[in-house]
A = this chain, B = another copy of it.
Amino acid sequence: MKKFRITPVDGGVCAVDGIYAGGVNAGFKKEGFDLGFIRSENEMDVAYLFTTNRFQAAPIKYVLRKGIKKTNFILANSKNANALTGEEGIKDIDEILGFLSSKINTVNPVMSSTGVIGVRLDKEKIKKGIEKFDFNERNSNKFAKAIMTTDSFEKEISFEVEGDFGRFKIGGVAKGAGMINPAMATMLCFITTDADIPQNEMKEILSEINENTFNAISVDGDTSTNDSVFLMTTRKGSYDKEAFKEALREVMQKLALDIVKDGEGATKAVAFVVTGAKDKKEAKIVGKNFTNSLLVKTALFGEDPNWGRIASTVGASGVECDETKLRISFENVFVYDRGNILFDEETEKKAHEIMKKREFKIYVDLGIGNGAFTAYGCDLSYDYVKINAEYRT
């Protein structure tokens, strides 16, 4: 039995005492917020995970070069990724953060960006935006809105965790809807907490939870230049490793699934539960291949229980598999069982009914070993094509 209780609370990243957040329109979006901040009264310890894309964006290089371990300020913008902008992209950040520091006391401020690749930041617009900030605002939702690109809703969550060990709070905000294929998922995520986590455990725990949350989702198989997850703590609360991991998992799972549900043009969020693979690595390969297969994704959109595409994807994955050991079911409706095709008119109808739902699970057991991984994906609709064919225009 758990020795702790996790309770949803309001506030997003501002659920944590001493955290402020807000957003303004700096003129990048026609309307709505496009520049936001999260700041803390005192400096916070910070851990981060960044994209595996070799062309890491300027804001990521900036953080890595400075080797930032403590910060009290996150500045984030949408509509421009500041990626592929070279040394000038980094100088732009320096200038912007220098200007910021003339307005408010900052300790190792961090910038985070998302949007179009390969365009220099408009520094003047950002400076004017900074001048509009109300630094005493505690509005996580405005920040969540400010980092949205093609997202259709804000992604926020916060909890209070209590147990024998004491209590802490944790809150997170994320953005992401396209260019989503983990390692990291193409997204930005900011998590605040007051849990008194040992500095040396922060990155380890963040990586561990990330593996089954953000690294388990895919919208389109494209890994962006800007993926970032930040975990920041004020250390004013208590800490219990088990409780913290559980709470962090709740936060990251919720935000990751929100990204899939908000996948560009997506009408469905589907969990591919892969079991029986040789090992976890192979289970993950198969799971991710489901979420990235155009033929699987279009079948989801068509609500067509075309299980042959699922089987074919397993075979194409290069993992150890055997068609006489494979089992496939849509929820509890088995369509293929170790060499036997169970797909008839009745099964097809039942599976089709399941696929009409907004969220459902597809189970694939390889029957080889004990490797398991659940990948989360969405369908591929006309709107995905529309959104991405017209992104810049």
Contacts and interface: CB of A to CB of B under 8 A. Distances in A.
Interface in A304-330: 304, 306-309, 311-319, 321, 323-324
Contact of A298 (B87, B223, B293, B385): B385
A83 B308 contact: yes
A225 interface: yes
Nearest to A223: B316
Chain A interface size range? 35 or more
Interface stretch (A48-56, A68-76, A123-131, A205-213): A48-56
B308 A388 contact: no
B318 A52 contact: yes
A382 B141 CA distance: 34
Given A52-B316, A86-B339, A321-B54, A308 B118 contact: yes
A59 interface: no
Given A222-B294, A324-B86, A55 B389 contact: no
Looking at chain A's contact residues, the main secondary structure is: loop
A382 B178 CA distance: 17
Nearest to A225: B312
Given A118-B343, A221-B292, 8 more contacts: A55-B321, A116-B308, A222-B312, A222-B313, A223-B316, A294-B388, A302-B389, A302-B391
The 9 closest A-B pairs by CB, nearest first: A117-B308, A302-B389, A55-B315, A298-B388, A118-B308, A223-B316, A53-B315, A54-B315, A220-B294
Interface of A: 52-56, 81, 83-87, 116-120, 178-179, 181, 220-225, 292-295, 298-299, 301-302, 304, 306-309, 311-319, 321, 323-324, 336, 339-341, 343, 380-382, 384-386, 388-393
